[in-house]
Each structure stands twice: as C-alpha cells, then as structure tokens.
Structure 1
C-alpha cells in the first residue's frame, strides 16, 4: 500500500510518499518546503501568507515528489492529511488539495491529528533510508509522551497504541511560543528558539557568571499543569531594569530562561514517573531539537532506566512522513465530512 502524506498545519508545506506492507514501511519520497524566510520579517508566522504559499507550493511539490520517487499517481492507495491542530487557513489548503486528489484518483483520504504525528515521528529510526523496509520502534506500554512545540505543551499517557489520555498541558503559552516571544524581547532573529539555544550554550561554555535569576513556573504545583506566560513576563521586567544591555547580559538571560524551561519540563516528567507505571518515554515536537533539553531527557531516561524515544534529526519539526505513517495505520473509514480543526485535541 502506498500512502501520500500531506502536512500544512503551519509554515511548512510537506509531502511524503510511503509504502507499507507486512507491518513495515519504506520512504519513497519526503519533501519539506519551509516558509521561514518569508515570515521572518513579521517575527512569526503570518497565517494568510502561509495559506497563500501552501496553495502555490502544493501542486509543485506533488509533481516533484511523483517524479523524484518514480511513482505514478494512480499507484497511490490512500491520502493522509493533517486536519488539526494548527492554523485553520493553512490546514484547509492541505485538506482541500487532498480531497480534490481523492476524488480524482478515487481513493480514501484520512484525517490525521498533527500531535499524534509527532508521537509517531519519535518511533522512526531511519527517516532517510529509501532502500529498505523498516519497522517502527517497539513501544512497551504504558508509555508517556511529552509533546513540546510552538503551539503545544502536553503530557499524554498511552495505554496502548492510538489510545491517548492527556495528563497535563499548558494553561497559557506553549513552550515553543515562549522561546519565540523571549527571543523577540532580546532582539534575536526569527525563529527564536534556535537563537536562544545558541547563545545559551555559548554562555555555558564560556562559564559566564549567572547573575540573573528567573522563576520556575508551576514547579511545585501538585498537578501536571504548565504555565510559561509568567516566565516570559519575568524576562520582560528584567529587561526593563537594565539600561544599555550588554551581550553578556543577553546571553545570561537566554541561558537562565532555557535552564528554567528545562528544569520545569524535567520536574513535571519526574512527577509523572513517580505517580505512574511508565515503560516507555517519548518526546516529540519541534522544541526537542533543543540540545540542552534533549540532554536533560536523556539523563532522566538513564537515571530511571526507562527507554527514551526521540525524533531523529529532520523529524523534530513538521513533516509529512509522520502524517503518512499515522494515516497508513488508521482504518480507511468514511471521513468525507471532516474539517480543519485549529484546536483539535486527542
């Protein structure tokens, strides 16, 4: 079976062709077209610009992936498309493209939850291998997934594959959103997360004195709720107290902010491990590309002797491979009436 995956939830236009048989998959083609350069001048994603670019890029990328994969479109058996969560104008472009193609080829189209895709992205071991069939990494249940991205911060319990329960989430800003907002306060380029990580890491290597202290929000709450707006506000007030800020002070704030976020994420996950039987730990979403956070979770996994699955390079961000995988495994029911859902949850 060959599945076409389509992902347009934010500012990446992504397509993937995936072949699946005998519980194994092979990547035939995988394209991610980023719009970062276009959105940089806005300091964030401009939804209607993202929509326009998706509309322009989808047919071009579709022809390219067919040609590069040497696949005839009539060989495609089903289409998997992200229907949420995300920016609704952007989501609709992928959905409408998928539905039109579905009618043309007379094949089913499967709606996929973007966040479920991020869980599956962490189960892929060789995303660039286009020669051999491979299996997803085995999960021993119950498993816990922490999803950290520009729009989400949530802890999800999995009693079995495709059975999800949200244990905790953010009440305001997502962790990736907080990174971007703090980066703007520090006049760092968009996207801000990698820029904060870069200067924070340099501050550690240079043993820069840690003079600035920021709060660890919700660290001692009894539940698994996150909140990052207060941390963002603390950075704002810190900056207001500083006249003629130096590069060392910017680096100190970046490091302290990253340390605060990391400490909160790890503390909450320790609480999850203390209160639940957990046999597999999964981290997904764009923020896990952050090397400092990644190392902290690797240590948590090692200290607790729990297998940890992280997405490979290239799969931390939005991609259509993860969407194609979820859509391949789901039953091909009649999903004809599905819509874009910006706030779609598990």
Structure 2
C-alpha cells in the first residue's frame, strides 16, 4: 500500500512536469515560428521528442510497485524454501515381496495437534488381505493414508520388508503402492493417462491389464474415443461410479505390491462390487497385499485378516472369522456389539434389560437387511 501511494504521487508529479515541459516547448516553438527563426514542423517535432524522452521516467514510476511486490515475493519464497529440509539421498532398495508391518503407529493429521490414531500395530504377510472395519470417525481413512505414505506417522513406523517408508526413494516407492482414496481424485487428461499416473511412455498393455483387473475395460470401450477420452478436471465428465472404477484401475497399474483401497465400493453397483472382489483376489493370487477399508460386508468376504478400529485405537486384529465372531454379537451381549447388515457393519442398539422384551434382543431391521 505504501509503494502504491508513492508510485501514485510520483506518477502524478511526473505527468504534471511532463505537461508543463511540453507546453513550454510548444510555447517557445511558437515564438520562434513567429520570429521566423524556425518552422512549424520543428515545433511539433520538438514536442514529440520531449514526450518520448520522458516516457521511460513514467514507465519506471508505474513499474515501481510491481517491482517491490516481486522482490518481496522472492524473499518470501527464499524463506519458505529455507524451512523445507533437503530431500535426503536414499539407496535403491529391492522391490518388496514379504510383508507389511505397522509398529505402534500414532498419526496426527496435518494442521491438528491431537492424534486421531494411536498405538496401532499389526503385520500382514504377502498374499494376504486385511479388512479394516469400525464405526465412522474411528480412524480408518487416517490409517490408510499413513500406510501409503501420504501422511507421516507422528510415532511408530510403517515398514515394507523391514524398511520404513522414509528409507525409500519417493518415486521408487510409488511404483510399489496402489491407493484408491475415499474421494477419488482424477486429473484433466485422458483415461489412459490417469490410469498410468501420467507416466511418460506408459506401457499400453499394462494400462489395459489394470483396467481389466478393475473390471473397467468394457466400460472404457463404450466411450467414443476409448482410452483416449478426455475426462476434464477432476473427471467432471464421468459419473461417480465410473470415476471409482478408473481410480481402482489406477491403483492396480503396474501390479504394485501393496494396494490400499478406502471404501472401494462406495459408489458402485452390484457389477462394480463384483469387480472389486475379483481385483482383491487377483492381488492376492500374485502374492501382493491388499488393505481394504470397508463398511459393506461384501468387501470383507474376500479378506483373511480383519482389523477392528474404535476411537482411533486398535480394538481387535486377527483372522477374519475370529474377529468377526468377537465383534458381531447380539445386542444383549454388551455395549460393543455389532451387526452385519446390508448397509454395513454397525453397532447394535443397547438394551438395558433384554429379558424384558424378546424383540429387543435382535437388531433393528432396515431396508436391505439380510
């Protein structure tokens, strides 16, 4: 604001002086013409030359504020880059093949001060699938972001084959991880570019293979331009279900070792859910690891391990049948009973005296319950 005030004042002063000088030149030129010491052309030419000579002064004054703003912006950028630690050099590590280990992980979301996930630890072997269940707000999506390295753990470690995620080169690590977030984010480009993660010289066969595994190949071919169809910013030209299928194909591109799917069937119909189940099975068959965050029992049916989250903490972990047998209890078994319904795994209604009414010992029926 101060620079703007100074530039405005100097600009007005410069314009006033320029007009006064040009008027004086015209006046002197007119007097010389009258005295027949000069011609009219010299008078006009002199006025133009004075205006041209003073133009750089006006331009410098008008550019003073943008110059100061650019200098201040450059200084702020230097301060910001000075606060960002340099990226450490890392050794190239072999592709992960054995396991995923989570060691007492605590996660504080960016911008927050309190952890939303605390003291979570488990180990998954290659060829296994883990289902993460729990009520809304229990920290399932937060944990999934930490598993893929999108958020750093405030405490504890996430390890692939014994190496923490910080020991990996970020670009190399990305090739071994596939991630389908709860809100699918696509980018302005073609379907093929989004599936290939905008990789230069992407392999067409790998793109098609990922789409087939995700059950999206036939869906893509229905578009007039197929894989070359441009989807617009954030996939605006696609429906929610189509974005979900293409996002799943992107997560499976390149056969990553670890695939994390956060609510993969949230916007899918029965055909799409079946495709998700087949995709999970295909990752297990090639000896990869799948982590599925789910509310619907259909996705849990193909996993062999289950992690139960509650209040940001690990409540139960182990083989699927053992954990589900522990948490899926009748309502009168206690306050922490859960019911598997068509709408997901949800807490049952608490009944103080179940013997008082027989109907209170059963979960409330809703549309879609089986």
TM-score w.r.t. the length of structure 2 is: 0.26
TM-score scaled by structure 1?
0.27
- Structure of higher CA gyration radius: 2
